[in-house]
Structure 1
Amino acid sequence: MTGTFTTRTVDVTTGSTETMHDLTSACSVFLREVAHGRDGLLNIFTPHATSGLAVIETGAGSDNDLLAALGEVLPPDDRWRERHGSGGPGRDHMLPALVPPHATLPVVGGELELGASQSVVLVTTGRGGADGRVRLSFLG
């Protein structure tokens, strides 16, 4: 049997503050619709210069710890510069170097293979944007 490739985008409202948006449910819904019990890979990608994707435990404090750590590594102050030299969201543009804009995860029996406490989250430090887009792609 040859593999199939299916892709779609999911729109996410992130707000204008540092946040994590849990994508696990959206990934599961997508896989129920397209994987049909097959094994394969789910690729998740955000095409935004100020966001990244992480697999992390949520709800127990790790999500806030990650945002705090990013605040220490990428302080929200005026040291960051855009390429053209003016002050701007240069700090936010550094985020994908630390939290990559992509993740590839195993799918087994049509379901996302995550650990018991793991979630897939969109991480954003952007202070100006309120919307994001994430592409989900299944190969199986």
Structure 2
Amino acid sequence: MDTDVIDVDTTRRRIVDLTDAVQGFCDGRGDGLCNVFVPHATAGVAIIETGAGSDDDLIDTLERLLPRDDRYRHAHGSFGHGADHVLPALVSPSVTVPVQAGRPLLGTWQSVVLVDLNRDNPQRSVRLSFLAA
């Protein structure tokens, strides 16, 4: 298995497109599987359409499902931070993409994105791993 870690800053964006990084990582590797994993308790990875409003729709939906208020038992950090710890149950911390001839087999409108609503920690690591066929 080949693996690498990329650093991502989410200060300005709650959803960060990782597709180019995934494609670059897979380039020249042949056939296999690429796993994208975020080793954080308050972030996730998703495959969605970007640029047509879906990014904002996802954020709005997650903020409705996980409001920032005092309902959470996990109460350290900023107000409502407990919601951030529930996020990975809804947005998985990893996705796996099939790769053929070094090219991730994503659909026409699919992008791999990091989802991070946590305002307490904008510095994220994302692990890319390739398992050859």
User: TM above 0.5, one fold?
Assistant: yes
Q: Percent identity?
A: 52
- For structure 2, the residue ranges without an aligned partner over 5 or more in a row are none
Output the CA distance in 1 between the equivalents of 2:20 and 2:73.
Answer: 36
User: What corresponds to 1:10 in structure 2?
Assistant: 6
- For structure 1, the residue ranges without an aligned partner over 5 or more in a row are none
2:14 alignment partner, one of 19, 31, 46: 19
Structure exhibiting the larger radius of gyration computed from Cα positions: 1
CA contact (8 A) 2:75 2:81 kept: no
Deviation at 1:88, TM superposition (A): 5.5
2:33 alignment partner, one of 41, 44, 53: 41
Q: What is the TM-score when the length of structure 1 is the normalising length? A: 0.87
Query: How do residues 71-90 of structure 1 correspond to structure 2 at under 5 angstroms?
Result: 71-82=63-74, 89-90=81-82
RMSD: 1.8
Q: What is the TM-score when the length of structure 2 is the normalising length? A: 0.92
User: What corresponds to 1:52 in structure 2?
Assistant: 44
Count, aligned residues: 131
Partner SS state of residue 26, structure 1? helix
Deviations 1:34-72 (A, max 9, x none): x1xx11000110000110000000000111111111011
Output the CA distance in 1 between the equivalents of 2:49 and 2:57.
Answer: 11
Q: Give the residue type in structure 2 aligned to 1:96.
A: P
Moved over 3 A (4+): none
